[in-house]
């Protein structure tokens, strides 16, 4: 009896080859635990006007990925199923959709990275479509695996510290969760700006954070930060709850508390004569291009907690959900030679 290639590869646990209409992707068909992540064939998307098709080399995991997967975001981000998660991408431009207004910005073969719009399909896939305005050339200093760790977390840090809090040189900034995906970029960007940086992190991450530019670190597991941090101009709150509640008292009058996780109380802000702002970071190709320049100047770099193949997305989600990874978890979609990771789990 003749065995087809498909039958043989299935037997070996290797997914059969995709054709130009299909691709491998990790999708969800309903909300739930990590088990709803399915490594499977999916239709390959086509770029429309003002969009580019990216041949994905790597993506990275952010807490929003498992929050969407679990259904916690369904009232804010109306997604339809099947859905591809992953809102960080680094890869090559495969095709440019026709748009006379932006023609020439990107061409086939450009090495790019992006934080795409969260409401659309993400980058846990061999290909994805992104709006041109959300794309920038990736930093030359980083290969795709490391570049994929940058967009969402670094843009969030940028938009919180610079666009929202208007952080100035010499100002004092308190960064909560300094060792996390957003926090470790915030430490480096605040340093680049010339600010004085106090971070909260457990002691195992202190050495890394001093190397990244932190001036003082507080072990939040043994010390109350409000007993140590004083005269703060900007608080970056990546934690919420009682961490946010205890942060008001450390701020100078006229200071700013920016929270990524919980709307600050207007009454508390008024009581302390400070600003309290909840930020929802968003795509921005121009800011990503600025960030690439800072990376290429050697002033900013991602810290990678670990690199896993796309097929291990479930494990990556479990790790991210633990809330104690440092830096970023990257999902490798293609090997160095451009072939797709093929060990389906």
Ligand X SMILES: NC(=O)c1ccc[n+]([C@@H]2O[C@H](COP(=O)([O-])OP(=O)(O)OC[C@H]3O[C@@H](n4cnc5c(N)ncnc54)[C@H](OP(=O)(O)O)[C@@H]3O)[C@@H](O)[C@H]2O)c1
φ and ψ at 247, to 5 degrees?
-80, -25
Select from 16-24, 68-76, 92-100, 195-203 the region that touches ligand X (CB under 6 A): 195-203
Site size toward ligand X (CB under 6 A) is 30
Q: What angle do CA 137, 149, 106 make, to 5 degrees?
A: 15
Query: Considering the complex, what minimum distance in angstroms separates the CB of residue 221 from ligand X?
Result: 7
* Shortest reach from residue 253's CB to ligand X, in Å: 25
When asked if residue 172 is in the footprint of ligand X (CB under 6 A), the reply is no
Q: Taking CB under 6 A as the rule, does residue 64 contact ligand X?
A: yes
Residue 210's CB is within 10 A of a number of other CB atoms, namely: 14
By CB under 6 A, name the one of 171, 188, 205, 256 that touches ligand X: 205
**249-278 mask for ligand X (x: CB under 6 A)?**
-----------xx-----------------
Cα distances (Å, whole numbers) of residue 53 to 56, 108, 215, 289: 9, 9, 42, 19
- Residue 180 sits in the site that holds ligand X (CB under 6 A): yes
Closest CA to 60 of 295, 321, 307: 307
Contacts for 114 with CB less than 8 Å, ≥ 6 apart: 54, 88, 89, 90, 130, 134, 135, 136, 151, 283, 285, 288
**Binder to ligand X among 179, 235, 308, 333 (CB under 6 A)?**
179
Of residues 59, 121, 238, 244, which one binds ligand X by CB under 6 A? Answer: 238
Minimum Å distance from CB 246 to ligand X?
11
Residue 143 or 206 having the CB closest to ligand X: 206
Give the residue, chosen from 68, 150, 239, 310, that forms a contact with ligand X under the rule CB under 6 A: 239
Q: Which of 15, 122, 183, 276 binds ligand X (CB under 6 A)?
A: 183
Strands 304-309 and 328-332: parallel
Distance CA 9, CA 44 (A): 21
- Find the radius of gyration of the CA atoms of the chain: 21
Q: Which is nearer to ligand X, 324 or 345 (CB)?
A: 324
Contact status: 243 vs ligand X (CB under 6 A): yes
d(CA 311, CA 341): 7
Nearest to ligand X by Cβ — which residue? 180
Question: Which one, 152 or 269, has the nearer CB to ligand X?
Answer: 152
- Kindly state whether residue 86 participates in binding ligand X, applying the rule CB under 6 A: no
Q: Which 33-62 residues touch ligand X, going by CB under 6 A?
A: 62
Round to whole Å and give the CA distance between 254 and 166: 12
Q: Which CB atom, from 42 or from 239, has the smaller least distance to ligand X?
A: 239
For β-strands 172-175 and 135-137, DSSP reports them as unpaired
User: Nearer Cβ to ligand X, position 284 or 342?
Assistant: 284
Q: How far is CA 303 from CA 5, 27, 89, 179, 300, in A?
A: 41, 27, 16, 9, 10
Q: State the minimum distance, in angstroms, from the CB of residue 323 to ligand X.
A: 5
Q: Which stretch binds ligand X (CB under 6 A): 109-117, 120-128, 173-181, 268-276?
A: 173-181
HSE toward the beta carbon, residue 161, CA cutoff 13 A: 32
Q: Is 176 in the site for ligand X (CB under 6 A)?
A: yes
Handedness of CA 50, 69, 137, 284 (dihedral sign): positive
The CA distance from 209 to 95, in Å, is: 40
Q: Is 118 in the site for ligand X (CB under 6 A)?
A: no
Which lies closer to ligand X via its Cβ, residue 70 or residue 261? 261
DSSP state of 163: I
The yes or no reply on residue 325 touching ligand X (CB under 6 A) is yes
CB 53 within 8 A of CB 61: no
Chain residues in the site for ligand X (CB under 6 A): 62-64, 153, 156, 176-177, 179-183, 200-202, 205, 220, 238-239, 243, 260-261, 279-281, 320, 323-326
């Amino acid at each position: 009896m003749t065995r087809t290639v498909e039958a043989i590869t299935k037997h070996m646990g290797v997914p059969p080859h995709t054709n130009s209409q299909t691709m491998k992707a990790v999708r969800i068909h309903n909300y739930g635990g990590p088990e709803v992540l399915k490594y499977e064939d999916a239709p390959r998307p086509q770029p429309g006007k003002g969009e580019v098709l990216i041949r994905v080399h790597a993506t990275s995991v952010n807490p929003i990925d498992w929050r969407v997967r679990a259904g916690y975001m369904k009232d804010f981000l109306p997604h339809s199923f099947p859905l591809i998660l992953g809102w960080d991408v680094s890869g090559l431009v495969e095709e440019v959709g026709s748009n006379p207004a932006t023609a020439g910005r990107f061409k086939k073969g450009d090495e790019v990275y992006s934080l795409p719009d969260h409401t659309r399909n993400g980058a846990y896939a061999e290909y994805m479509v992104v709006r041109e305005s959300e794309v920038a050339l990736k930093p030359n200093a980083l290969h795709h695996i490391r570049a994929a760790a940058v967009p969402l977390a670094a843009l969030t840090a940028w938009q919180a510290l610079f666009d929202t809090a208007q952080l100035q040189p010499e100002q004092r900034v308190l960064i909560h969760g300094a060792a996390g995906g957003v926090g470790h970029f915030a430490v480096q960007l605040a340093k680049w700006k010339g600010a004085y940086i106090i971070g909260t992190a457990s002691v195992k991450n202190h050495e890394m954070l001093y190397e990244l530019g932190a001036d003082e670190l507080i072990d939040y597991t043994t010390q109350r930060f409000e007993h140590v941090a004083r005269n703060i101009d900007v608080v970056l709150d990546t934690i919420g709850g009682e961490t946010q509640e205890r942060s008001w008292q450390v701020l100078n009058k006229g200071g700013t508390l920016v929270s990524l996780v919980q709307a600050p109380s207007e009454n508390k802000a008024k009581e302390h004569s400070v600003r309290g702002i909840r930020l929802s970071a968003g795509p921005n190709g121009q800011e990503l291009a600025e960030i690439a320049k800072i990376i290429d100047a050697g002033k900013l770099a991602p810290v990678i907690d670990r690199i896993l193949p796309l097929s291990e997305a479930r494990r990556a989600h479990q790790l991210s959900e633990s809330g104690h990874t440092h830096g970023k978890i990257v999902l490798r979609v293609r090997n160095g030679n451009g072939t797709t990771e093929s060990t389906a789990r």
